[in-house]
Structure 1
Amino acid sequence: MSLAPRVVLIHRTTEYEELVAHHGTHGQAAFFLSSRGRDIEEVAERHRRTRRALAEVTSAIPLTWRQSRVERGDLDRFLFAPEDVVVVVGQDGLVANVAKYLAGQPVVGIDTDPGRNPGVLVRHHPADAATLLPAALAPRTGVDELTMVEAIADDTQRLVALNEIYLGAAGHQTARYRLGLEGDGGVVEAQASSGVLVGTGTGGTGWIGSVWRERGGGLRLPGPTETRLLWFVREAWPSPSTGTTHVLGQLTASTRLCLTVESERLVAFGDGMETDALELTWGQSVRVGVAGTSLRLIG
């Protein structure tokens, strides 16, 4: 007998909850915000909208289905199952936070604050949940297969991200390394920079898009489902021993960017989650390219 589907509701602690937890009471939190020119009512109203959205989505779950609720900070300790339907209730960034922990489960993004969130990944309203949940398991449901990026170190450490992967020094200080493209005739350049950024088409709405615009947009941004990545070296520094000619490019499904560490310690982290990073030491190498898995986002 097969298991009933399980809905996994992903959410994050609201700003209001964090303020009250830190200051002890609503009144003390209100006083703190007012001293900085902010009104707690705006923060509290966003909190109420989030709670209403969670309640509405929860009530839409079929009675025969199982359900779990996971806060963002607990994602690295939660075990997802193949039969799960993942429902992200919150902001676009929360979808990116959960993507690295999935293996093909369908994802439904619910926007708790329309007009404030871009709605690139949280595309639906809470009222849509009753229709979307059963449809998520239907074979003909429209699904976008969003390309992801992965970094694999020579000691088998692996990191996957939806938007981008950053490789560099912790604290974004000067990183020293050797950089080259796999299968590019052995062309490798020693560099000193603020790090290397490798991003997807989905990341084009975030950090990688910002760097792309700063560089003048000479390369075409990939689409979210396109199996192509862009990479940029941030603030490469020229010197007698380091170069600046190998500072941007694109990767297809068959190419990899290879970085060999020449600093005491570098890190690689994805989607801004610096607390969940690969640790890389002198002489280690890491390969970055299109991930073998994608995020299945319900359109």
Structure 2
Amino acid sequence: MSLAPRAVVVHRTTEYEELVARHGTHGQAAFFLASRGRDIAEVAERHHRMRRALAEVAAAVPLNWRRAQVERADLDRFLFAPQDVVIAVGQDGLVANVAQYVGARPVIGVDTDPGRHPGVLVRHRPADVARLLSVTLDARADADELTMVEAVTDDAQRLVALNEIYVGAAGHRTARYLLGLDGDGGAVEAQASSGVLIGTGTGATGWIRSVWQERGGAGRLPGPTDERLLWFVREAWPSPVTGTRLSAGELAATARLSLTVESERLVAFGDGMEADSLELTWGQTIRVGVCAERLRLIV
């Protein structure tokens, strides 16, 4: 007998919950904010909107479905099952956080605060969830297959992200590495920089777009389903032994960007999830390119 589908609702701790956890009570949190010219009422109202949205989403799950709820900070420890349908309730960044863990499972993005978020990935309202769940398990359900970026180390560690992967030093230290490109005659350059950013068309609405604009907006940004990536070296430093010639470019579907570490410790993390990073040390190589998997985001 096959298992019933499971709705996995993903959310993140609200700012209000973090404040109360830190200060102990609502009153203490209110006093803290007031001392800094802010009113807790606004923060509390956003919290209540989130709780109402979570309750409405939970009520929309069919009675014959199984259900689970997971906080964003616990995603790296949560075991997703083949029958799962993932419902990300919050803001666009939450869908990106979910993407690296869910594989081909369908994802529904639910916006809890329309007008406050861009709504690029959280495209639906809580009232839409019942209708969407009724069609989600159909392989023909309307979905965008969003391109993701993948990093693989020479010792088989793997990292997947929806927006971008950052490779560099932890904190504000200088990253030292050899940067190499496929398809460029084996071009390799020793570099010292603030790190390297490799992003997708979905990421082109965020961090990648910011760097692209700072560089003058040269070239065409990829779309969310395009099988190409953009990469940028952040603040490359020229010296007698380090260069800046390889500072930006595009990766086609089969191309790879490689970095070989030449310092004590570098990290690689995706979509801002620094707590779930890969650690790299002297001589290790990491290769980054288009991921064969796609995020199946229900439209």
TM-score by length of 1: 0.98
Q: Does 1:30 align with 2:30?
A: yes
Q: Deviations over 1:102-133 (max 9, x none)?
A: 11000000000000011111000011111011
Structure-1 separation of matches of 2:40 and 2:167: 38
Corresponding letter in the other structure for 1:268: A
Deviation per CA, 1:183-216: give whole Å up to 9, x if none.
Answer: 4222101111110000000001111110011101
For residues 128 and 298 of structure 1, the distance between their equivalents in structure 2, rounded to whole angstroms, comes to 11
Match of 2:254 in 1: 254
* Aligned pairs for 1:190-205 within 5 A: 190-205=190-205
Aligned residues of 1:30 and 1:40 also touching (Cα < 8 A): yes
Corresponding pairs, count: 299
Q: 1:71-124: per-residue Cα shift (whole Å, max 9, x none)? A: 111111110011100000111111111110011000000000000011111000
What is residue 163 of structure 1 aligned with on the other side? 163
Which runs of structure 1 show a deviation greater than 4 angstroms over 4 or more consecutive aligned residues? none
In structure 2, the residue matched to 1:94 is 94
1:281 corresponds to 2:281: yes
SS of the residue aligned with 1:124? coil
Note the 1:1-299 alignment, pairs <5 A: 1-299=1-299
Q: CA RMSD in A?
A: 0.8
Give the Cα separation in 2 of the matches to 1:279 and 1:261.
11
- Partner Cα separation in structure 1 for residue 219 and residue 231 of structure 2: 10
Is contact 1:16–1:47 with CA below 8 Å preserved after alignment? yes
- Cα shift at 1:273: 1.1
C-alpha contact (below 8 Å) 1:172/1:195 kept by paired residues: no
> What residue ranges of structure 1 are gaps of 5+ in the alignment?
none
1:296 CA displacement: 0.4
Using the alignment, how far apart are the partners of 2:175 and 2:226 within structure 1? 30
Shift of 1:139: 2.8
2-structure distance, mates of 1:211, 1:82: 37
The 8 Å contact of residues 5 and 83 in structure 1, kept in 2 or not, is answered as: yes
SS in 1 for 2:122: coil
Runs (5+) with no aligned partner, structure 2: none
Residue aligned with 1:198, SS: strand
> What CA distance in whole angstroms lies between the structure 1 residues aligned with 2:187 and 2:115?
47
Counterpart residue identity of residue 191, structure 2: Q
Deviates more, 1:130-139 or 1:88-97: 130-139
SS at match of 2:101: coil
